[in-house]
């Protein structure tokens, strides 16, 4: 087995984790010699990065400077994906998902503890992933473990073993998907079948930790869309996003030189008190928060409308039916410096 490179983020920023009893710490931009990268955590700094055309997305371990060809490709991919996610298609997917969600809710025995992830969210996310990427349910089930391997490597990007497994899994996944545009092939499948599950796990964990907010949503289910935005902000998912400077750039007075890399601490920025009133509280009545969980600016998530639709469609039946949902056993966590989420959510309802 190849030697594991130590995860340099493991001891750092542990307060960025959702189960931390302490809020994240925010700093002015600084250059970290161990990471060989700038580290930014304040909301305004990260937002400036998201809108800077001199800063391109990069993978965590790449020191290459992205070229203008990859910028054109990225622009084309964005346009094609956004055009494919028409309101008509979104409506059809939502209708299907709503029907499947109702059937599943009816079929579960809620008198006993239920795992909201494996018994409820997972089959629904998988079915949505199959619909959107236009593969059969049979192929979706067959490819699910492969997608989980890709996702596990994103959660722990410094784990060499997971990375090798993900490389093989990606190759197998690639041969199964042919939808247009490209973002609705294997990467879309992984996002909907896996990332969606992790983000829901965090959101529902956070809501259960705030039973008054769950009750409020039970009484006012029309707040669901606002509540989803607040849960995305508070619970988040990606811990770090990366950028590389293709030219010198000034980010709120901090000069970043061509070729330098930047680590963006998204979870910390989502709790920045300069931006959010009482940032470490869940408040589902919060408006216009503008969280960064799905990115922002030039490279914001093109699947954001799908994420919001799926999150609301899967959460609504739970909050409409149950006034109180509590964990039946403490959550155990998976992941690493890419993202963390509960492995299961065994709950009792009331």
**Site of interaction with ligand HEM (CB under 6 A):** 57, 74, 78, 81, 183-184, 188, 191-192, 195-196, 199, 237-238, 241, 294-295, 299, 301-303, 306-307
User: In this structure, what token pair is assigned to residue 289?
Assistant: 């928060």
Looking at beta carbons only, is 264 or 325 nearer to ligand HEM?
A: 264
What's the min distance (Å) between Cβ of 310 and ligand HEM? Answer: 8
Tell me the C-alpha distance between 107 and 102, whole Å: 9
- Judged by CB, which is closer to ligand HEM: 232, or 327? 232
Task: Considering the complex, state which of residue 60 and residue 218 has its C-beta at the smaller distance from ligand HEM.
Answer: 60
Distance in Å, CB of 232 to ligand HEM, minimum = 8
DSSP 3-state of 155: helix
- Quote the CA–CA distance of 231 and 117 in Å, as a whole number: 17
Least separation, in Å, of the C-beta of 294 and ligand HEM? 5
Q: Which is nearer to ligand HEM, 159 or 202 (CB)?
A: 202
Measured from the CB atom, is 71 or 348 closer to ligand HEM? Answer: 71
Give the shortest CB-350-to-ligand HEM separation in angstroms. Answer: 29
Looking from the CA of 285 toward its CB, the CA atoms found within 13 Å total 6
Angstrom distances, CA of residue 151 to CA of 170, 190, 228: 10, 7, 22
The DSSP-derived string for 195-217 is IHHHHHHHHHHHHHT-HHHHHHH
How far apart, in whole angstroms, are the C-alpha atoms of residue 43 and residue 51?
13
Q: What is the dihedral of CA 118, 119, 123, 128, to 10 degrees?
A: -90
274 token code pair = 């300069």
Which is nearest to 263 in space by CA: 13, 5, 2, 1? 13
Which of 269/322 has CB closer to ligand HEM? 269
Smallest distance from ligand HEM to CB 204, Å: 14
CB of 329 to ligand HEM, least distance (A): 26
């Amino acid at each position: 087995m190849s030697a594991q490179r130590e995860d340099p983020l493991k001891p750092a920023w542990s307060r960025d984790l959702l189960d931390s009893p302490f809020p994240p710490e925010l700093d002015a931009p600084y250059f970290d010699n161990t990471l060989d990268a700038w580290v930014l955590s304040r909301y305004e700094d990260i937002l400036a990065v998201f809108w800077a055309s001199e800063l391109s997305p990069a993978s965590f371990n790449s020191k290459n400077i992205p070229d203008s060809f990859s910028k054109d490709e990225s622009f084309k991919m964005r346009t094609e994906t956004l055009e494919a996610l028409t309101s008509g298609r979104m409506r059809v997917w939502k209708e299907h998902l709503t029907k499947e969600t109702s059937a599943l809710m009816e079929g579960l025995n809620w008198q006993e503890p239920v795992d909201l992830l494996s018994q409820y969210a997972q089959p629904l996310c998988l079915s949505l992933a199959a619909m959107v990427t236009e593969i059969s349910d049979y192929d979706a089930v067959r490819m699910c473990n492969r997608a989980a391997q890709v996702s596990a490597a994103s959660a722990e990007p410094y784990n060499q073993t997971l990375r090798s497994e993900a490389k093989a899994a990606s190759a197998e996944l690639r041969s199964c998907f042919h939808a247009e545009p490209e973002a609705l092939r294997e990467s879309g499948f992984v996002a909907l079948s896996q990332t969606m599950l992790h983000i829901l796990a965090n959101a529902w964990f956070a809501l259960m930790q705030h039973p008054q907010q769950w009750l409020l949503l039970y009484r006012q289910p029309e707040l669901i869309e606002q509540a989803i935005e607040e849960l995305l902000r508070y619970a988040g998912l990606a811990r770090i996003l990366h950028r590389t400077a293709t030219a010198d750039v000034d980010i709120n007075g901090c000069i970043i030189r061509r070729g330098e890399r930047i680590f963006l601490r998204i979870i910390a920025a989502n709790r920045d008190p300069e931006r959010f009133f009482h940032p470490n509280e869940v408040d589902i009545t919060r408006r216009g928060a503008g969280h960064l969980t799905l990115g922002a600016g030039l490279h914001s998530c093109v699947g954001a409308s799908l994420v919001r639709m799926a999150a609301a469609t899967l959460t609504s039946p739970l909050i409409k039916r149950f006034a109180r949902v509590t964990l039946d056993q403490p959550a155990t966590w998976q992941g690493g410096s890419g993202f963390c989420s509960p492995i299961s959510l065994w709950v009792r309802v009331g």
